């Protein structure tokens, strides 16, 4: 009989980090990491930035290369798809029928790019960006230059827009909402992002709905907007969000609610099964569930899930934090800005730094934009938040008041 052990489904940031952490924690049993991509675990952030512009190759952001996994005694099964969980027998069933037994199971299946409902002839020509294979295909397309239409003014779409400009493409971004980054970024910062894209020659079409996509007579693509406008495109990228890959869990009878529902220890309703990273919905401290799509969260939850699979019983306490690089600007959002009732601005050279205070004047979020020179101030601002400190608004706003001094 096969030895039981730790099984991880999904060899992304979360799954890869969890596998490495299990060994770092001294676990000496069997570890199986199952991934349906052909590549070993790699970081996704460079896909829309340095990889697309040719500044970094995949090896540079592969954080658990096959060699390292082999040395750590981690069995990478890739490409292999987990098709079902047999909870009664504590086994994962692969698409080919093979069964892998587990003592503890981690579901780290992440998200998939949301697709546009399109006829097959057009669907094959539209790009999405989630995987290295997607990025490779997009990179080859953009290398030919021409017109790129980006559908969706969120992070992925805007990062690709900035990279495509660097590659010499003409770029148009079509966004449904009246502004960019409506889901996660406060208005003043989103306006700076919009201005920077316009300065780079990107056309932003806001308040616009794509009605249809088709193939034009010359072989290019036609993007028809609801208001009758027609955009000609050599390439189309749809960056319209990502959906949790929670089907395995749902079919196994585990609760899902916009992601696999876990407790503060990242355990599902089955104590043998954990879920972490982009695919999970976890308690966020105000009685609700958070569903984050961010590198830091994936990495930290992967490590914590591994410790908890070994019985540590630790609650997840990391502060949400994500960044987005576009042109020379880095945008950062930390904490829970949506819980804020009031914005306090601190002047920082070359950028903007906003503190989000709730109705009781508690610091609940920090957001910023700027070149690398603002990074230090932002780091201190995040530390205030992490430590649960709430200095007076006047102190936060006063550039003569050192943030470091407020940390004491
Ligand atoms: C292009 C891009 C740029 C990004 N840039 C940033 C950034 O600048 N800053 C930031 O904070 N965050 C960024 N992110 C978000 C960050 O990369 C994600 O939050 C992180 O990758 C989530 O990791 P994960 O392991 O939970 O999920 P994923 O990365 O989605 O990995 C899940 C893996 O599981 C596999 N899988 C799913 N189902 C199965 C199955 N049944 N069997 C086997 N394998 C399966 C998937 O194929 C995938 O390989 C970016 C994401 C993308 C796509």
Q: Please tell me the residue having the least CA distance from ligand 1 atom 27.
A: 110
Considering the chain, what percentage of its residues have pLDDT values greater than 70? 100
For residue 325, CA distances in Å to 55, 246, 331 come to: 14, 29, 6
Q: Please tell me the residue having the least CA distance from ligand 1 atom 16.
A: 295
Q: What angle do CA 96, 258, 100 make, to 5 degrees?
A: 25
Atom of ligand 1 nearest to the CA of 111: 30
Q: Which of 109, 132, 160, 321 has the most ligand 1 atoms within 8 A of CB, as the residue to mutate?
A: 109
Question: Rounded to the nearest whole angstrom, what is the distance from the C-alpha of residue 206 to the centroid of ligand 1?
Answer: 28
What is residue 355's predicted lDDT score, i.e. its pLDDT? 97
For residue 223, CA distances in Å to 19, 69, 155, 240, 307 come to: 43, 45, 21, 15, 49
Q: What is the pLDDT of residues 132-142, one digit of tens each?
A: 999 999 999 99
Question: Residue 85 in contact with residue 105, Cβ under 8 Å?
Answer: yes
Question: Rounded to the nearest whole angstrom, what is the distance from the C-alpha of residue 129 to the centroid of ligand 1?
Answer: 10
Q: Would the pLDDT of 2 be above 70?
A: no
What is the average pLDDT value for the chain, to the nearest integer? 96
What is residue 372's predicted lDDT score, i.e. its pLDDT? 80
What is residue 46's predicted lDDT score, i.e. its pLDDT? 98
Length in residues, the chain: 408
Question: Rounded to the nearest whole angstrom, what is the distance from the C-alpha of residue 393 to the centroid of ligand 1?
Answer: 37
Residue with token string 């914590």: 304
5-112+242-309, CATH topology level: FAD/NAD(P)-binding domain (3.50.50)
Question: Rounded to the nearest whole angstrom, what is the distance from the C-alpha of residue 156 to the centroid of ligand 1?
Answer: 12
Atom of ligand 1 nearest to the CA of 248: 41
Average pLDDT (146-165) is 98
Question: Rounded to the nearest whole angstrom, what is the distance from the C-alpha of residue 225 to the centroid of ligand 1?
Answer: 31
Q: Would the pLDDT of 196 be above 90?
A: yes
Domain 115-238: which CATH number of 3.50.50.60, 3.40.640.10, 1.10.1040.10, 3.90.1150.10: 3.50.50.60
Q: Decide the pairing of beta strands 289-290 and 280-283.
A: antiparallel
Q: Which of 95, 110, 185, 378 has the most ligand 1 atoms within 8 A of CB, as the residue to mutate?
A: 110
Q: Would the pLDDT of 266 be above 80?
A: yes
328-406, CATH topology level: Enolase-like; domain 1 (3.30.390)
Q: Would the pLDDT of 285 be above 90?
A: no
CA-to-CA distance for 187 and 285, rounded, in angstroms?
A: 25
Q: What is the pLDDT of residues 88-132, one digit of tens each?
A: 999 999 999 999 999 999 999 999 999 999 888 899 899 999 999
Q: Please tell me the residue having the least CA distance from ligand 1 atom 15.
A: 294
Other C-beta atoms closer than 10 Å to the C-beta of 294 total: 21
Is-same-fold flag (5-112+242-309; 115-238)? Answer: yes
Q: Please tell me the residue having the least CA distance from ligand 1 atom 19.
A: 294
Question: Rounded to the nearest whole angstrom, what is the distance from the C-alpha of residue 110 to the centroid of ligand 1?
Answer: 5
Q: Which residues sit with their C-beta closer than 6 Å to ligand 1? A: 9-15, 34-37, 44-45, 47-48, 81-82, 108-111, 129-130, 156, 245, 248, 277-279, 293-296, 298, 322-324
Atom of ligand 1 nearest to the CA of 34: 43
CA atoms within 13 A on the CB side of 99: 12
Q: Which of 32, 42, 44, 331 has the most ligand 1 atoms within 8 A of CB, as the residue to mutate?
A: 44
Q: Please tell me the residue having the least CA distance from ligand 1 atom 17.
A: 44
Q: What is the pLDDT of residues 317-350, one digit of tens each?
A: 999 999 999 999 999 999 999 999 999 999 888 8
Average pLDDT (177-198) is 96
Question: Rounded to the nearest whole angstrom, what is the distance from the C-alpha of residue 277 to the centroid of ligand 1?
Answer: 8
Question: Residue 29 in contact with residue 75, Cβ under 8 Å?
Answer: no
Question: Rounded to the nearest whole angstrom, what is the distance from the C-alpha of residue 140 to the centroid of ligand 1?
Answer: 22
Question: Residue 174 in contact with residue 208, Cβ under 8 Å?
Answer: yes
Q: What is the pLDDT of residues 45-97, one digit of tens each?
A: 999 999 999 999 999 999 999 999 999 999 999 999 999 999 999 999 999 99
What is residue 350's predicted lDDT score, i.e. its pLDDT? 87
What is residue 1's predicted lDDT score, i.e. its pLDDT? 54
What is residue 287's predicted lDDT score, i.e. its pLDDT? 87
Q: What is the pLDDT of residues 353-406, one digit of tens each?
A: 999 999 999 999 999 999 887 888 999 999 999 999 999 999 999 999 999 999
Residue with token string 């930290």: 300
Question: Rounded to the nearest whole angstrom, what is the distance from the C-alpha of residue 208 to the centroid of ligand 1?
Answer: 28
**In sequence order, which residues have a C-beta less than 8 Å from that of residue 316 and are 6 or more positions away?**
264, 265, 266, 282, 300, 301, 304
Instruction: Kindly list the domain boundaries of the chain, sorted by start residue.
Output: 5-112+242-309, 115-238, 328-406
Residue with token string 């939850």: 301
Q: Which of 7, 10, 305 has the most ligand 1 atoms within 8 A of CB, as the residue to mutate?
A: 10
Question: Rounded to the nearest whole angstrom, what is the distance from the C-alpha of residue 190 to the centroid of ligand 1?
Answer: 24
Dihedral angle over CA of 52, 54, 57, 63, nearest 10: -50
Atom of ligand 1 nearest to the CA of 113: 53
Average pLDDT (2-22) is 95
Q: Would the pLDDT of 253 be above 80?
A: yes
């Amino acid at each position: 009989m096969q030895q039981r052990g730790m099984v991880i489904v999904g060899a992304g940031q979360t799954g890869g980090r969890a596998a490495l952490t299990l060994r770092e924690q001294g676990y000496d049993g069997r570890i199986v990491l199952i991934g349906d991509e052909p590549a070993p675990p790699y970081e996704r952030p460079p896909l829309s930035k340095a990889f697309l512009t040719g500044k970094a190759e995949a090896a540079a952001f592969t954080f658990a290369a096959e060699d390292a996994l082999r040395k750590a005694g981690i069995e990478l099964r890739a490409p292999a798809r987990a098709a079902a969980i047999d909870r009664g027998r504590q086994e994962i069933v692969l698409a080919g029928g093979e069964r892998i037994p587990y003592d503890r199971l981690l579901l780290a299946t992440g998200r998939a790019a949301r697709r546009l409902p399109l006829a097959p002839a057009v669907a094959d020509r539209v790009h999405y960006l989630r995987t290295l294979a997607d990025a490779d295909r997009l990179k080859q397309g953009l290398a030919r230059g021409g017109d790129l239409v980006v559908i969706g003014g969120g992070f992925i779409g805007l990062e690709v827009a900035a990279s495509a400009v660097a590659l010499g493409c003409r770029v148009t971004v079509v966004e449904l909402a009246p502004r960019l980054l409506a889901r996660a970024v406060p208005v003043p910062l989103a306006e700076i992002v919009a201005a920077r894209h316009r300065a780079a020659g990107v056309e932003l079409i806001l308040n616009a709905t794509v009605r249809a996509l088709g193939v034009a007579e010359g072989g290019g693509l036609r993007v028809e907007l609801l208001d009758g406008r027609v955009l000609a495109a050599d390439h189309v990228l749809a960056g319209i969000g990502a959906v949790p890959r929670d089907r395995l869990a749902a079919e196994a009878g585990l609760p899902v609610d916009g992601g696999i529902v876990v407790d503060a220890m990242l355990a599902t309703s089955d104590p043998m099964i954990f879920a972490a990273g982009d695919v999970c919905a976890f308690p966020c401290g105000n009685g609700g569930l958070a569903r984050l799509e961010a590198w830091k969260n994936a990495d930290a939850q992967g490590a914590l899930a591994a410790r908890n699979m070994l019985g540590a019983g630790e609650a997840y306490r990391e502060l949400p934090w994500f960044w987005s690089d576009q042109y020379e600007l880095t945008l950062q959002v930390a904490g829970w800005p949506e819980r804020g009732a009031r914005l306090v601005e601190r002047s920082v050279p070359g950028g903007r730094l906003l503190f989000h205070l709730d109705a009781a004047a508690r610091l609940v979020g920090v957001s910023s934009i700027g070149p690398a020179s603002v990074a230090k101030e932002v780091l201190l601002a995040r530390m205030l938040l992490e430590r649960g400190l709430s200095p007076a608004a006047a102190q936060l706003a006063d550039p003569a008041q050192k943030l470091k001094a407020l940390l004491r």
